[in-house]
Structure 1
Amino acid sequence: MESTRDNRLVVAISSRALFDLDESNGIFETQGLRKYTAYQIEHENETLCPGVAFPLIKRLLALRLPHTDESAVEIILVSKNDPNTGLRVFNSIEHYNLNITRAAFTNGRSPYHYLGALGADLFLSANSEDVRLALDHGYASAAIYTGLAFVDDNTDEIRIAFDGDAVIFSDEAERVYQEKGLEEFKRHETENCEIPLPPGPFKPFLEALNKVQKAYEGLDHKPIRTALVTARNAPAHKRAVKTLRSWGVGIDEAFFLGGWDKAPILEGFRPHIFFDDQQTYCQNAARFVPTGHVPSGIKNMAL
């Protein structure tokens, strides 16, 4: 049996992030567990439609390491269903020929308990509370905005976009901005431009992604492309750039928007997932691209 302990990128994903389960989830929320269980068993041979994260997951599963042709990414299904009601999800996985062979069915328990054992570099879920718990325990996690269908493009790239503060970086600078205003934020970041920002919750995931990217160095085709899309602008951009440099982490594209709406840039970059901590940016972005809310940092403390 193949070992789980290798150098592959590992993404844990919930069934509602992978497939469109809004209808059955609505039954659970309005009619309770018994009706939900009966519904899932009754419909277990009906294939689920792709969810918001489906194009990303399909592309990640197809990614092969150069020279070895081994899988570069492992996807693990993490579901709060029990194995009985989760059978419909695995039937749908088989229908779409997704190479997902490992799963955790937790029967109502929050999946964060098992993310360490699974070796997950990233956890994607439609349940914001599960995401908060995972973040609180040190796992890069995002709550996927469901209910929208995105038509995948015909390129062979995997594009991932990140906000900076409270996502890749800590919310140290954001706290200065919220507590003391824009001018003090600019002064603080200019004075501290040579001091790297503390890491945010997605630094380990970005590092793991960079390791996969480095496997393609020297090749004409690089299948993964990343972007930093941040509300920072000059002169506060310097600290972000120098922080990434100090970590030895690369970003392919960077956009310093100074508070402008991020959606038009994201429409141009066309990420298969975008991560941001602020719900306003997420809500705008989610109309155009698959989006994950990262409920970390000072902006999410009162939510």
Structure 2
Amino acid sequence: MMAHARLADVAEHAGVSTTTASQVFSGKRPVSADTRRRVLESAAALGYRPKGRTGTIGVLVRPAEAVTSFLAGTTSFSTITGAVTLGLLNAGYTAFVSSSHAELTAIAARLDGAVVLHPNFEDETLHELESRRIPVVAFDRDPSGSSFEWWVGINYFSSFIRLIQHIHATGGDTIGLIIGETDNMYRRSILQAYSALAVSSGNRQLIRVADNDEGVEGARAAATRLLEANPDCNAILTSSSVFAAGAEAAVTRRGLSVPEDVRIASVLDGAPAETAACPITSLRLDTTAIASRVVEVLEERFRDGEPPVVHQCIPLELVVRGSTARAG
């Protein structure tokens, strides 16, 4: 990487004229896909940033299941992604949305900034964009506990504790947990809250992992295994509304009733929870607040300001429905 790469350096590295390289960044004239690729790869290799603002913000949707689970009915990823995208458009930016690290970093030289949604453990995109000096912020923290401070998120732990306490208060004293596979702060916070309350109340930890790609059916299978091994389980907490629908299917297939025999709650709300045969208690995201705060933090970074002092600032609203109605 050159200390002060010029457009001419990029053009020479890519084997094109300076005019052609300029057209790749300006978009004023058509350039072949192969030429565009070579110029952008050269810009990335040399650390070149075009002068002037492009107004383009890259949005990386990190969880692998965010795209595949959309057709299964999971709405949390789509609503967060849509809200952040619209928030950027409303602020006057152009948004480039992708679920691919390679795709986003390939056009990094054309970005003014980036947003990473739900970073992975030791997230490679955060590291790479930081190394290229591209302003980047994240919704949720990198679960590795890295020193990256430009993030905002939800106070998951206290919200989850409140949800589990609600289940206890309605008679659910043996609670199973159906959770997905992706290692991020959301998943870790669920496990932390569930385990903390289980230990403090002296209850067993009944955790089953569902296959993200199998959606409702994966959760149904996991809940079936849970109930077969633990017939005294009278409540199930799930990490998504799709999993909650699967848990409800497992309960009814065993000839049991919701909520009389087994209470069900979803950590995040969504259409499958709202439209279930017995509507499912959930925690609801304020996506407008998420989008507004993400854009605010990104623009603060553009101004060379300071990272947020309070990171976990987005509330979750407890929405009580029939699935956790009090017994009797």
What's the TM-score, normalizing by structure 1?
Answer: 0.30
Larger-gyration structure (1/2)? 2
What's the TM-score, normalizing by structure 2?
Answer: 0.28
Q: Which structure has the highest helix share of the two?
A: 2
